[in-house]
Amino acid sequence: MRIRIVDAFTDRPFAGNPAGVLLLDDAFPDDDRLQNIALEVNHAETAFAHRLPGGGEADWALRWFTPATEVAMCGHATLATAHVLHTTGVHAGPVRFATRSGVLVATPAEDGSITLDFPTAPLTPVATPAGVAEALGAEPLTAFDTGPNIGDLLLELGDEKTVHALHPDLKALAAYSERGIIATARAENPELGYDFVSRCFFPNVGIDEDPVTGSAHTALAPYWSRRLGRTTLTGLQASPRSGRVCTDLRGERTLLTGRAVTVIEGELLT
């Protein structure tokens, strides 16, 4: 099997969020093998895809694994997989992926960007859990549950500087949601090209801090669209690698647009 490492939600190598991508010749092997490969790749997610028979509702089956577990939704590894399919000529035009989160569509544009069509996360306001401010290292203004597909606690903080300065207690954070914490704030200077900033900490799936999280933006998009009064926004994920996600809220669906760069290509020998 060919294996590629793709940096997603960036237009340059060694930025954005790296994902492993493996295109399989036929059906998925057993889960233990998939998990072992993902552990060996050791990126936030490794995507496995295989072609489906023609005439169905999807073109490819797609699954995502962190080094520790399978996840229900992953934006950056979906973007990375679509990038590989298009740049290698394996698939032309929009590609429909059958996933645990339903059929997800990735559409390439002439400028090289790819737009993902994902379900919008349902946001439910919740009381700020006792102790989460101490674990995060900042006092949240609001707290929202993001629903079953994402499984995060979304917390708005006082300002962008606070988000950048976070040094959370990751072990303590693990107690507050299924996957982890999305910390966000309004951009201090929108003239820099982004409307809000975020950081994502996912200790429960083996990811201390995710570099750029497409799935989190299905929750950030409706949250900030309501706050800012616009359906089209750009988010900066302020991890050390950093990356930007353009969002377009379409009711129950959210469009996520970004670019990707293949940085490594090789062969899986075992």
Successive 10-residue mean pLDDT values, the chain, 270 residues = 96 97 96 97 97 96 96 96 97 97 96 97 97 97 95 98 97 95 97 98 94 97 98 97 97 97 94
> How much is the pLDDT for 219?
98
List residues with catalytic annotation. 45
List, in order of start, the domains of the chain with CATH numbers.
2-118+258-267 (3.10.310.10), 124-251 (3.10.310.10)
Per-residue HEC secondary structure of the chain comes to CEEEEEEECCCCCCCCEEEEEEEECCCCCCHHHHHHHHHHHCCCEEEEEEECCCCCCCCEEEEEECCCCEECCCHHHHHHHHHHHHHCCCCCCCEEEEECCEEEEEEECCCCCEEEEEECCCCEECCCCCCHHHHHCCCCCEEEECCCCCCEEEEECCCHHHHHCCCCCHHHHCCCCCCEEEEEEECCCHHHCCCEEEEEEEHHHCEEEECCCCCCHHHHHHHHHHHHCCCEEEEEECCCCCEEEEEEEECCEEEEEECEEEEEEEECCC
